[in-house]
Amino acid sequence: MNVTDARRRRDRRRALRASLLALASTVVVFGVLAWIVVNAPGWPAVQSSFLDGQVFAAALPGIVAAFFVNIQLFVAAEILVLIFGLVIAILRSVPGPVFFPVRLVATLYADIFRALPGLLVIFVLGFGIPGLGLVDPKTPPILYGILALTLVYSAYVSEVYRAGIESVHPSQDAAARSLGLSRWQSLRHVVVPQAVRRVVPPLLNDFIGLQKDTVLVSSIGVVEIFRTAQIKQAAAFNFTPYMAVALVFVVVTIPLARFTDVLIARDRRQAAGGRR
């Protein structure tokens, strides 16, 4: 037997031992935690009110069906946020003293809507706009929810875009301008396309937050997943429907989070590959 084979066998043994150790420590840690919870004095009561299998099975179809309202909310809001956030970021980046008021308004908008709690914005718009008497009182409240989420998340996303725009090296703009492109053309064709590519991962991160915040829209009378769970909880005197909601969000969000990781890893590889 030669040295290479011996080395390979040794490496394999080490890898196996590492895996077994990881498995053992995981089993021990989670075993101890589970033992503590299960032996807590209130565990039987908590188990029956949060983890009732029958209630879970009965609630799940209705919960999943109600989630389609949340999907409508976040898909509509995400599309609007992508556009509006970019508009705000560009308005904040417009150079020249004439455009100071534009920059001021865009900056104030981003500051204020990042400061305000999302729930508050949903309340104010959901109850305030109908109160003005300018729009059809039968306007479905989900539209106010979409509007509120768009306003709140566009403020965050505009900052993400802006960071992307500022990360594009000034020499790119100089090259574009030296070819005779105007400021706007340089922004439109050279700077923004590069910025958008760079900010996809942090943008997806904000979208994970947006998806979860769709439950806040339940507060203005939209019967979405969380309100549905509340109704089922009240009917069954049991909190298990909330666990079904938790499961739905976990199932939807984790793939998106992993996808974001993949994109970040790809960007890092490209950066390491010497992309300018």
Partner 1 sequence: MTSSPAPIPALQIEGLEKSFGSLLVLRGIDLDVAEHEVVCLIGASGSGKSTLLRCINLIEPIDAGRIVIEGEEITALDVDVDRIRRRIGIVFQAYNLFPHMSVLDNIALAPRKVLRTPRAEAEAAATRLLDRFGLADKRLDYPDRLSGGQQQRVAIIRALAMQPDLLLLDEVTSALDPELVAEVLGVIRELAAGGMTMLIATHEMGFAREIADRVCFLDQGVICESGPPDQVFSDPREPRTRQFLQRIIDAGRL
Tell me which residues touch partner 1 (CB under 8 A).
171-172, 174-182, 185, 189-190, 193-194, 197, 273-276
Looking at beta carbons only, is 122 or 190 nearer to partner 1? Answer: 190
Looking at beta carbons only, is 48 or 182 nearer to partner 1? Answer: 182
Q: Cα–Cα distance between 256 and 236 in angstroms, integer?
A: 33
CA angle, 25 as apex, 20 and 26 as ends, to 5°? 100
Q: How far is CA 91 from CA 51, 79, 103, 150, 187, in A?
A: 50, 19, 6, 17, 11
Give the list of residues 6+ apart from residue 229 with CB closer than 8 angstroms, or none.
Answer: 59, 63, 66, 241, 242, 244, 245
Assess contact for 250 and 178: CB atoms under 8 A. Answer: no
The full DSSP string for 225-242 is HHHHHHHHHHHHT-SHHH
Looking at beta carbons only, is 137 or 273 nearer to partner 1? Answer: 273
Assess contact for 190 and 97: CB atoms under 8 A. Answer: no
User: Minimum distance between the CB of residue 208 and partner 1, rounded to whole angstroms?
Assistant: 26
Quick one: 7 exposed, middle or buried, by C-beta within 10 A (0-12, 13-18, 19+)?
exposed
Looking at beta carbons only, is 121 or 190 nearer to partner 1? Answer: 190
Looking at beta carbons only, is 54 or 185 nearer to partner 1? Answer: 185
User: Minimum distance between the CB of residue 136 and partner 1, rounded to whole angstroms?
Assistant: 44
Give all strands (DSSP E) within 7-143, no chain letters: none
Looking at beta carbons only, is 2 or 178 nearer to partner 1? Answer: 178
Q: Can you read off the two tokens belonging to residue 251?
A: 């199932």
User: Minimum distance between the CB of residue 85 and partner 1, rounded to whole angstroms?
Assistant: 20
Q: Can you read off the two tokens belonging to residue 211?
A: 């998806």
User: Minimum distance between the CB of residue 175 and partner 1, rounded to whole angstroms?
Assistant: 4
User: Minimum distance between the CB of residue 99 and partner 1, rounded to whole angstroms?
Assistant: 17
User: Minimum distance between the CB of residue 98 and partner 1, rounded to whole angstroms?
Assistant: 16
Q: Which of 91, 67, 89, 71 is nearest to 79 (CA)?
A: 71
Q: Cα–Cα distance between 1 and 95 in angstroms, integer?
A: 72
Looking at beta carbons only, is 188 or 212 nearer to partner 1? Answer: 188
User: Minimum distance between the CB of residue 164 and partner 1, rounded to whole angstroms?
Assistant: 12
